[in-house]
């Protein structure tokens, strides 16, 4: 057996353990296992920023390309205090499986800056984004590595980064990143895409299990870009959203949350980050602890906030029978074992939240063509692709009596392995 990589970062550790378990299950060649355990490239950069008080702070940024076997690497850029090189490695690896499973022509990438964006001014964030863009510019490009927004970044950050790199290049290059504002080479439908994809998987799962959406009670942990649109689309499909949450707490109403009002509180458009659900209990909800949305009485749970929240200490408190991972890596392997033993069906992140990268692919394709699609066309293609992917994984899992996560891994790894067999080890 090849040497198995171990690490202290919980996200990378989870990604590696899930990968090894699936690779062993499918008897993947040991050389390939070793190759895919490491990113092809990791760039660590310093990001000096002149702060409003005149002082200079140096932030640490990263861009990781896990695999370019299938095409240019693709993945978001996040600003958060727990961002590290290893966390980006784990997230980039997940992106490889996500793009592979979705059948789109991308490898996996990820990046970010370790910072607290909520305590920074707009000017400080602009300087930080532009310097970071300049630092990672040598490895970014429409045919090499195509970033996108992630936690605490949105269209504004993408514009700052793209504008900086375009100035360095001396020409315009809109396909170098996605998640741009609609009026500036963005795509209509992209803002809602990840939530639409997660909701589509949830509704497909209800169909497979013969469940009526109008009788389903749903809890959504995290009311950011992913969680808010997941909740809205499921509400529109007839589900009762019994809980939503953000860093201010969980807001619970067994009769149903008023999602339109929640949007008014949270202003979840990507470029208006910072406002929260503060005070939302006034809208007829009970206010509970931040993570209680994971444990309230419901049928379907969508963890859409941060990683590792469903773990060995919390998994047995989850009451939902179905979990769809809107966030990346919200369940640890220990947590999933507890859920599997309890008969809970878990739809894994790189299937459930693939709407974002599929939507990014549509934006990139439009940019390359210099031609924009209608929102209807974008949404239809997104829902069709998500439905096909979900059904493919569901059928494999039923036929082979494997979990959805293991089935998704096997399909994703197989596509990468097949292409690597064609291309050979030298990449």
CA 301 to chain centre: 16
Q: Give yes or no for residue 246 binding ligand NAD (CB under 6 A).
A: yes
Q: Which residues from 138-197 bind ligand NAD, rule CB under 6 A? A: 150-152, 194
Point out the residue whose Cβ comes nearest to ligand NAD: 224
**Which member of 92, 305, 345, 410 binds ligand NAD (CB under 6 A)?**
305
Torsion angles phi and psi, residue 202, rounded to 5: -60, -45
Establish whether 110 is a catalytic residue: yes
In whole angstroms, the minimum distance from the beta carbon of 222 to ligand NAD comes to: 3
User: Locate tokens 């007829």: which residue?
Assistant: 284
Q: Strand ranges (DSSP E) for 271-374?
A: 286-288, 300-303, 322-324, 345-347
- Residues 114, 146: contact at Cβ < 8 Å? no
| Closest to ligand NAD by CB, 95 or 417 | 95
Contact partners, residue 9, CB within 8 Å, separation at least 6: 84, 86, 87, 89, 90
In whole angstroms, the minimum distance from the beta carbon of 221 to ligand NAD comes to: 7
In whole angstroms, the minimum distance from the beta carbon of 353 to ligand NAD comes to: 4
Query: One of 6, 74, 98, 110 is an active-site residue; which one?
Result: 110
Contact partners, residue 142, CB within 8 Å, separation at least 6: 72, 173, 175, 176, 364, 367, 368
In whole angstroms, the minimum distance from the beta carbon of 191 to ligand NAD comes to: 9
Helix (H, G, I), strand (E, B) or coil at 272: helix
Q: Give yes or no for residue 408 binding ligand NAD (CB under 6 A).
A: no
Q: Which residues from 255-274 bind ligand NAD, rule CB under 6 A? A: none
- Residues 246, 269: contact at Cβ < 8 Å? no
| Closest to ligand NAD by CB, 152 or 394 | 152
Contact partners, residue 414, CB within 8 Å, separation at least 6: 26
Stretch of 10-18, 30-38, 216-224, 335-343 contacting ligand NAD, by CB under 6 A: 216-224
| Closest to ligand NAD by CB, 174 or 356 | 356
Q: Give yes or no for residue 295 binding ligand NAD (CB under 6 A).
A: no
Q: Give yes or no for residue 226 binding ligand NAD (CB under 6 A).
A: yes
Q: Give yes or no for residue 90 binding ligand NAD (CB under 6 A).
A: no
Query: Which among 216, 221, 194 is positioned nearest to 205, based on CA atoms?
Result: 216
Stretch of 48-56, 126-134, 301-309, 393-401 contacting ligand NAD, by CB under 6 A: 301-309
Instruction: Name the DSSP class of 310.
Output: B
Distance of alpha carbon 283 from alpha carbon 261, whole angstroms = 8
Distance of alpha carbon 151 from alpha carbon 310, whole angstroms = 19
Angle, CA 359 vertex, CA 353 and CA 131 arms, to 5°: 90
- Residues 62, 42: contact at Cβ < 8 Å? yes
Q: Give yes or no for residue 306 binding ligand NAD (CB under 6 A).
A: yes
In whole angstroms, the minimum distance from the beta carbon of 246 to ligand NAD comes to: 3
**Which member of 45, 139, 290, 365 binds ligand NAD (CB under 6 A)?**
290
Q: Which residues from 336-395 bind ligand NAD, rule CB under 6 A? A: 353, 356
**Which member of 2, 247, 314, 403 binds ligand NAD (CB under 6 A)?**
247
| Closest to ligand NAD by CB, 106 or 417 | 106
Instruction: Name the DSSP class of 224.
Output: S
Please tell me the chain's helix, strand, coil percentages from 3-state DSSP, rounded to the nearest 5: 50, 20, 35
Query: Which among 38, 46, 44 is positioned nearest to 15, based on CA atoms?
Result: 38
Query: Can you list the alpha helix ranges (DSSP code H) found in 237-280?
Result: 259-266
Q: Could you give the angle at which helices 30-37 and 404-423 cross, rounded to 10 degrees?
A: 100
| Closest to ligand NAD by CB, 23 or 359 | 359
Number of residues in contact with ligand NAD under rule CB under 6 A: 21
Q: Give yes or no for residue 420 binding ligand NAD (CB under 6 A).
A: no
**Which member of 84, 156, 328, 379 binds ligand NAD (CB under 6 A)?**
328
Give the dihedral of Cα atoms 71, 72, 75, 80; nearest 10 deg: 140
**Which member of 185, 223, 302, 362 binds ligand NAD (CB under 6 A)?**
223
In whole angstroms, the minimum distance from the beta carbon of 266 to ligand NAD comes to: 7
In whole angstroms, the minimum distance from the beta carbon of 104 to ligand NAD comes to: 14
In whole angstroms, the minimum distance from the beta carbon of 363 to ligand NAD comes to: 11
Give the dihedral of Cα atoms 11, 14, 17, 19; nearest 10 deg: -80
Query: Which residues belong to the active site?
Result: 110
Residues binding ligand NAD (CB under 6 A): 150-152, 194, 222-227, 246-247, 290, 304-306, 326-328, 353, 356
């Amino acid at each position: 057996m090849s040497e198995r990589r171990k690490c202290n970062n919980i996200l990378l550790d989870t990604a590696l353990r899930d990968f090894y378990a699936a690779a062993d299950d499918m008897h993947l060649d040991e050389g390939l296992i070793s190759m895919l355990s490491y990113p092809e490239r990791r760039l660590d950069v310093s990001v000096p920023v002149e702060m409003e008080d005149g002082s200079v702070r140096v932030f640490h940024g990263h861009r990781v390309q896990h695999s370019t076997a299938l095409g240019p690497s693709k993945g978001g850029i996040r600003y958060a205090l727990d961002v590290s090189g290893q966390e980006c490695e784990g997230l980039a690896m997940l992106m490889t499986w996500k793009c592979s499973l979705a059948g789109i022509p991308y490898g996996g990438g990820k990046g970010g800056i370790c910072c607290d964006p909520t305590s920074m001014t707009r000017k400080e964030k602009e300087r930080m984004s532009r310097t970071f863009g300049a630092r990672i510019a040598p490895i970014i490009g429409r045919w090499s590595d195509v970033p996108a927004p992630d936690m605490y970044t949105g269209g504004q950050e993408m514009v700052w980064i793209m504008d900086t790199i375009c100035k360095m290049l001396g020409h315009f290059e809109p396909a170098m990143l996605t998640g741009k504002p609609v009026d500036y080479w963005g795509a209509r439908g992209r803002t809602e895409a990840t939530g639409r994809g997660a909701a589509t998987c949830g509704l497909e799962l209800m169909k497979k299990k013969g469940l009526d959406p109008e009788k389903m009670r749903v809890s959504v942990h995290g009311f950011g870009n992913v969680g808010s649109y997941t909740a809205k689309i499921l509400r529109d499909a007839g589900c009762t959203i019994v809980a939503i949450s953000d860093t201010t707490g969980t807001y619970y109403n067994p009769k149903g949350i008023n999602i339109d009002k929640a949007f008014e509180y949270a202003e979840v458009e990507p470029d208006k980050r910072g406002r929260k659900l503060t005070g939302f209990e006034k809208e007829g909800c009970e206010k509970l602890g931040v993570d209680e949305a994971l444990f309230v009485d419901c049928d379907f749970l969508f963890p859409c906030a941060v990683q590792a929240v469903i773990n060995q200490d919390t998994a047995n408190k989850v009451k939902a029978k179905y979990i769809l991972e809107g966030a990346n890596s919200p369940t640890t392997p220990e947590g999933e074992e507890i859920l599997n033993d309890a008969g809970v069906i878990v739809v894994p992140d790189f299937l459930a939240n693939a709407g974002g990268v599929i939507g990014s692919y549509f934006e990139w394709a439009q940019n390359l063509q210099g031609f924009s699609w209608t929102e209807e066309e974008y949404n239809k293609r997104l829902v069709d692709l998500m439905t096909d992917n979900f059904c493919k994984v569901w059928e494999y899992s039923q036929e082979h009596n494997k979990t959805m996560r293991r089935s998704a891994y096997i399909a994703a790894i197989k596509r990468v392995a097949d292409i690597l067999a064609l291309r050979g080890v030298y990449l």
